[in-house]
Amino acid sequence: MNYSMNRKYYIGVDIGGTNVRTVFATDSEYLLKIVQPTRKTGPDTTLVSQVIQMIESGLSTLNIHKGEIYGIGTSSAGPFVDGGTKIWTPNISGVGNDWKGVPYIKPLREYFGPNCILGLANDCVSSVKAEQLFGAGQGYSNLVYVTISTGVGGGIIVNNHLLKGKSKNAGHVGHLIVKKDGPLCGCGQHGCIESIASGRAIVRRAKEQGIKLENGKGLTTKDVFDLYHQGNAKAQELIHETIEYLGIMFSDIISIADPEIIIIGGSVFIYNQDLLLPKIISYVKDNSFAQISKGVKFVPSQLKEFVGDLAGLSLIFPSEVISKWQQLQPWRKKIKIKDQVVDKVN
């Protein structure tokens, strides 16, 4: 078989600080999903070796030759170095290792050959593309995607152009400084919105303010929001302050990007959107440049838990496949994950 003439399979990879996910697809359906804990020890080739092994495992399960792969799109926590070919993230590099940039594109190119299309982008940059193609951003040319979760990040599209920047690190809105001399952030600066409004930051701040559970169990972000709704004064003050700083971030984003729509995702937001969304909108309305912010829509992510699967794929899908997926929405077909290894879609 001349595999180069029959490249009909697409692979999406989502690299996070906790898990690596690989999704195998055709022009009309999901075939398989593999999830494994992210490996963080060993040489700096450990991560890309894990990705290649996961892809090989999937190809073997599906009886596919690597020459049949059209492309591999990777959505990863950033930032990137060496022109966007290496991954350097605090959630991976520097955790139990001395990696100073994880080689990624070159090893994939060497293994899968010159004809396999490769895409690599920050997880939020690729997520805004996924939302534009398949989610709440359809029909918009100027949009921003922001995730509020373990961290805070963003992706920006202006006039249908995905902003990547000189080093492919555009969109790191989590490191907009919103509080002078604020908490220390993982990036080394003080007062970044991520150090105030991320899930980890909310828990840290709550503990610093003496917020505890009566049962003595460890505090979670959900607990802080539950205490807010129960009328806990300290929790209410903390969440109100968090919303104010998020409002500052969104006002800055609007001034910089001039979007038509801002799509918000991430677990902290999705699970608390009924509280957060109207208050964020109200703050932005009262504290932003009205001529720019007027008419900007704020909406929750439509893709939610699917955004990670679609983010990598959105970097490599050709236009005819995009159209087909927009019509069929195959991501809504449930993919089972068993023991964090492999499971076919039935």
51 pLDDT band, cuts 50/70/90, is very high
Average pLDDT of the chain, as a whole number = 89
Q: Are 102 and 48 in contact (CB under 8 A)?
A: yes
Q: Are 283 and 252 in contact (CB under 8 A)?
A: no
Q: Are 270 and 304 in contact (CB under 8 A)?
A: yes
For tokens 């995607």, the residue is 145
pLDDT tens for 228-242 read: 999 999 999 999 999
3 state DSSP class of 272: coil
The token duo for 164 is 């990547």
Exposed, middle or buried: residue 136 (CB in 10 Å: 0-12, 13-18, 19+)? buried
Q: Are 79 and 172 in contact (CB under 8 A)?
A: yes
pLDDT at 340 over 60: no
pLDDT tens for 114-130 read: 999 999 988 888 999 99
Alpha-carbon distance of 261 to 273, in angstroms, equals 16
| pTM of the predicted protein model | 0.87
What percentage of the chain reaches a pLDDT higher than 90?
69
pLDDT tens for 139-186 read: 999 999 999 998 899 999 999 999 888 877 888 899 999 999 999 988
Residue, of 85 and 330, whose pLDDT is higher: 330
Q: What is the mean pLDDT of residues 1-21?
A: 77
Alpha carbons within 13 A on the beta-carbon side of 196? 28
Q: Which superfamily does 3-122+307-344 belong to?
A: ATPase, nucleotide binding domain (3.30.420.40)
| Domain spans of the chain, in order of start | 3-122+307-344, 136-301
pLDDT tens for 53-76 read: 999 999 999 999 999 999 999 998
pLDDT at 81 over 90: no
Give the pairing of strands 161-162 and 342-344: unpaired
The token duo for 82 is 């060496």
pLDDT at 17 over 80: no
pLDDT at 335 over 70: no
Strand (E) or helix (H) holding 262? strand 261-265
Strand (E) or helix (H) holding 343? strand 342-344
Give the pairing of strands 30-37 and 342-344: antiparallel
Alpha-carbon distance of 211 to 340, in angstroms, equals 35
Alpha-carbon distance of 257 to 140, in angstroms, equals 14
Please name every residue paired with 153 in a beta bridge, in sequence order, or none if there are none. 147
Give the pairing of strands 261-265 and 297-300: parallel
Q: What is the mean pLDDT of residues 35-61?
A: 91
Q: What is the mean pLDDT of residues 83-94?
A: 68
DSSP string, 17-86: SSEEEEEEE-SS-EEEEEEEEPP-SSSTTHHHHHHHHHHHHHHHHHT--GGGEEEEEEEE-S-EETTTTE
Angle at which helices 123-134 and 307-314 pack, to 10 degrees?
Answer: 90
User: Do 3-122+307-344 and 136-301 show the same overall fold?
Assistant: yes
pLDDT tens for 235-269 read: 999 999 999 999 999 999 999 999 999 999 999 99
The predicted structure's pLDDT at residue 214: 84
The predicted structure's pLDDT at residue 91: 63
Q: What is the mean pLDDT of residues 319-323?
A: 95
Q: Are 38 and 100 in contact (CB under 8 A)?
A: no
Task: Give Cα 291 to chain centroid, integer Å.
Answer: 30
Fold of 136-301: Nucleotidyltransferase; domain 5 (3.30.420)
pLDDT at 2 over 60: no
What percentage of the chain reaches a pLDDT higher than 70?
92
Which parts of the chain fold into alpha helices (H)? 46-62, 105-112, 123-134, 194-197, 199-208, 221-229, 233-257, 267-270, 273-286, 290-293, 307-314, 319-328
The predicted structure's pLDDT at residue 261: 98
Alpha-carbon distance of 317 to 183, in angstroms, equals 40
122 phi/psi in degrees, rounded to 5: -55, 145
pLDDT at 85 over 90: no
